[in-house]
Structure 1
Amino acid sequence: MTAPRKPAAFRIEPEAPPRQEAPEPRNIQADTQRKPRAMRT
């Protein structure tokens, strides 16, 4: 159970910083489009 929790925390960390740095809706859209592509690959 401890193993699956580590990867989950890593996914939450990268998503937190971009949202704080890009408070504008325009920047958030650009980040959201690049994030799903990187995660899928």
Structure 2
Amino acid sequence: MSSAKFAALNEILNFIPAPRSLLNFISLLRSVAARAVLAR
């Protein structure tokens, strides 16, 4: 299961070529996670 997640993460990283896009994607995930925590 862990290796499957790692493989999926690798595919996502390969799909996003620009480091700036990756940083935007990470910040988006963080904001979504923060909202999920606040929604509780």
- TM-score tier (shorter): 0.3 to 0.5
Length-normalised TM-score, structure 2 = 0.47
